[in-house]
A = this chain, B = another copy of it.
Amino acid sequence: MIESEEIQHSDDLQKPLQDVQRLIERHRLVEHLVDRQEGARQELVAGLVHKQHLAELSSRLERMHPADIAYILEALPLPDRLLVWDLVRVERDGEILLEVSDAVRESLIEAMEPKELVAAAEQLDADELADLAPDLPREVLQDLYLALDVEEREQLRAAMSYPEDSVGALMDFEMVTVREDVTLEVVLRYLRLFDALPDQTDQLFVVDRQEMLRGTLQFERLLVNDPELLVSAVMRAETLTLHPDDKADDAAQAFERYDLVSAPVVDGQGRLIGRVTVNAVLDFVREAGEEDLLAQAGLAEDEDIFAPIWDSVKNRWAWLAINLVTAFIASRVIGAFEASIEKLVALATLMPIVAGIGGNSGNQTITMIVRALALGQVQAEQTNKLYRKELGVATFNGLIWGGLLGSVAALLYKSVALGVVMTAAMTLNLLLAALVGVTIPTLMQRLGRDPALGSSVLITAVTDSGGFFIFLGLATLFLL
C-alpha cells in the first residue's frame, strides 16, 4: 500500500485519539440538546451544528494514518466507534481493518453491509486480503475472488494456504526485480519509471528469466558504487533466503540477528515468490509476545475492552474450567487426610504455604527452560545438566526457606516435630517442582509440541496436589 503525501505521522501518539474524542463529545452534546428541545427552529440550528462537527471530524480522519484511526477505533466504546467508522471513506476501510485487533475487527465487520465490505477489501493486495479473509462472510469472499485477476487469485490462494506461524503468512508480493547483466545506471533509470516503491524496499531482487533468485542488490550498494558497474559485480550473491514453510519465529530471529529490513522468499526450486519485510516481523514479534502474556494469564485471545460481558466470559472460561478441575483434584488430596487434619488443625493452616512455594518455584524453572528451548540453547544431551542445576537450586531454597518457615511453625505451634515436617515437606515439594519443571517442557519439545503451551497450569497442578500430599502424608506418618 503506497502512502499519499497528505497522510500525517503524529509525533504524539495520543493526540489523534484526544482530538477525535473532543469532537465526538461536542457532537454528542449537540445530539443531547436536540433530543431535549422542541420546535423546528432549534432542531434546524442544532442539526447544522451537528453536521459541522461531523464534517470536521471527517476531514480530521481523512488526514490521519490508517494505523492511527485503527488505534482510535480500539480505544472508543462501541457507539462512538461506529460513529467514527461511518465517517471513514470506504476505500480506506480495508487498510484500517488490517490494523485493528481481531476483536475490534469483528465488531466493525458486523456493522458493515456485504457491498461495503467488498468495496473495502478490493483496495487490498493479495497478501493483505489473505490476512482479512478468515473474518469475512463467505459471500463477500466469493465476490472478491471473482473480481481478482489470475495472478492475484494465485497469490491469494498461496497466501491463504500457509499456516499462521509460517513465513508464508508474513510474506508480501511487492518485489522490484532486476537482471544481473545490466549496469547500475540502467537500474537507476529503471527506478525513475516508478512513481513510488513498495514500503520498506531496501534492496532489489536480482532474478534470471526463469525468476530464479540470483542475488540481492542493496540500495546502499546501488548508491555508493560506480554506475558503470554491472549488477552482477555489485549484488550480494550469497544472500539469506527464506522459504514459505519456514517458521515465522525463525525468520524473526534471523531479522534480529542480521539486522535485516527485507528478505527474499523462494520456493523449493529457488524461484523468487515474495519477500518478508521488517514491519511484518515487528508486528509478529509484538503479537507473539502479547499472546504469550495473554496465554500465561489464561486468556484465549486479545479482548476488546468494551466488548459485551458474554464475549469476555467465552474468552476466559476454558482456563477457569481447567484450573477448577486441578483445584478440585488438589482438594480431594486434602480430603483423603481429613482425619489427620481433625487431629492436628495446624496442618490446614500451614498446607497452603507448602503448595504455594512449589508453584512459584516451578513456574520460575519452567519459564527459564521454555525460553532456552525457544532460542535453541538447550540440546537433548544437556538435559542432565539442567536437572542437576535445578535440583541444586531447589535443595538450597528448600533448606533456607523451608528451614525459616519450619522454625516459625515450630514456634507458633510449640512443636519441633511439626517444624521439621514443614521444612522437609517444603524441600521435597521444591524438588518435585524442579523435576517436573525440567521434564514437562523438554518432554513436550521431544514430542514435537510447543513447550510453552499449558506448562504453567500443569506445574501448578502438580505442585498443589503434590505439596498437599507430601505435607499431609509426612505429618500423618510422623506426627500422629
Residues on A close to B: CB < 8 A?
8-11, 13-14, 17, 21, 65, 67-68, 71, 74-75, 77, 99, 188, 191-192, 194-197, 199-202, 219-220, 222-226, 238-242, 250, 253-259, 261, 277-279, 281-283, 285-286, 288-290, 292-294, 296-299, 302-303, 305-307, 309, 312-313, 316-317, 319-321, 323-324, 327-328, 330-332, 334-335, 338, 341-342, 345-353, 355-357, 360-361, 363-364, 366-369, 371-372, 375-379, 382, 385-386, 389, 392-393, 396-397, 401, 404-405, 408, 412, 464
Residue from A328, A350, A361 whose CB has the most chain B CB atoms within 10 Å: A328
A278 touches B282 (CB 8 A): yes
* Contact A378/B13 with A197-B220, A282-B285, A316-B361 known, Cβ cut-off 8 Å: no
Query: Given the complex, which residues of B lie within 8 Å of A197, measured CB to CB?
Result: 220, 223-224
Inter-chain contact A331/B350, CB cutoff 8 Å:
yes
Known: A9-B254, A9-B258, A223-B197. A405 touches B324 (CB 8 A): yes
Output the least CB separation between A108 and chain B (Å).
15
Give the number of copies in the complex.
2
Across-interface contacts of A361 in B (CB, < 8 A)? 316, 320
Q: Is the CB of B364 within 8 A of A316?
A: yes
Q: For residue A67, which residues in chain B have a CB less than 8 angstroms away from its CB?
A: 256-258
Interface contact A257-B327, CB-CB below 8 Å: no
A299-B331 in contact (CB<8A): no
5 residue pairs bridging A and B, Cβ less than 8 Å apart: A13-B257, A75-B378, A200-B259, A327-B353, A328-B405
Nearest to A348 among chain B residues (CB) is B348
Give CA–CA (A11, B254) in the complex, Å.
Answer: 8
Known A-B contacts A283-B256, A352-B355; the reply to A298 vs B360 at CB < 8 A is yes
Return the 3 tightest CB-CB contacts between A and B, nearest first. A289-B289, A348-B348, A297-B367
Q: Which of B14, B220, B225 contacts A201 (CB 8 A)?
A: B220
Contact for A294 among B278, B335, B346, B367, CB less than 8 A = B367
Knowing A219-B219, A331-B352, A345-B338 are in contact, say whether A278-B256 is a contact too (CB < 8 A): no
CA distance A292 to B348 in the complex (A): 34
> Contact check: which of B253, B257, B277, B392 meets A309 at CB < 8 Å?
B392
B377 touches A309 (CB 8 A): no
Measured in the bound complex, the distance between the Cα atoms of B327 and A239 in whole Å is: 55
In the complex, the answer to whether B350 meets A297 with C-beta atoms within 8 Å is: no
Let me know if B220 and A77 touch, CB within 8 A: no
Q: How far is the CB of A315 from chain B (nearest CB, A)?
A: 9
- The reply to whether B224 and A319 form a contact with Cβ atoms under 8 Å apart is no
Q: How far is the CA of A62 from the CA of B223 in the complex (A)?
A: 28
> In the assembly, what is the distance between CA of A219 and CA of B415, in Å?
78
- Inter-chain CA distance A377–B298, complex, in Å, is 21
Tell me whether A65 and B258 are in contact (CB under 8 A): yes
Contacts of A330 in B (CB 8 A): 352
CA of A14 to CA of B341 in the docked complex: distance in angstroms? 54
Judging by beta carbons under 8 Å apart, are B200 and A224 in contact? Answer: no
List chain B residues, Cβ under 8 A from A334: 348-349, 352
> Is B297 in contact with A363, judged by CB distance below 8 angstroms?
yes
Q: Most chain-B Cβ atoms within 10 A of its Cβ — which of A195, A313, A352? A: A352
Contacts of A331 in B (CB 8 A): 349-350, 352-353
Cβ B259 vs Cβ A199 within 8 A: yes
Which of chain B's residues have a CB closer than 8 A to the CB of A332? Answer: 349
Distance in Å: Cβ of A202 to nearest Cβ of chain B: 6
Task: Kindly report which residue of chain B lies nearest to residue A430, judged by CB atoms.
Answer: B320
Quick one: closest B residue to A289, CB to CB? B289
B305 pairs with A393, CB closer than 8 A: no
Report yes or no: A254 in contact with B13, Cβ–Cβ below 8 A: yes
Q: Are A352 and B352 in contact (CB under 8 A)?
A: yes
What is the CA–CA distance of A258 and B68 in the complex, to the nearest angstrom?
A: 9
Asked if residues A319 and B360 are in contact (CB atoms below 8 Å), the reply is yes
Asked if A372 contacts B225 (CB within 8 A), the reply is no
Q: Does the CB pair A224–B202 fall under 8 Å?
A: no
CB atoms of A257 and B65 under 8 A apart: yes
With a cutoff of 8 Å between Cβ atoms, the chain B residues found around residue A14 in the complex are: 376
**In whole angstroms, what is the CA distance A369 to B241 when docked?**
40
The answer to whether A303 and B220 touch across the interface, beta carbons within 8 angstroms, is no
Partner of A313, one of B195, B222, B313, B396: B396
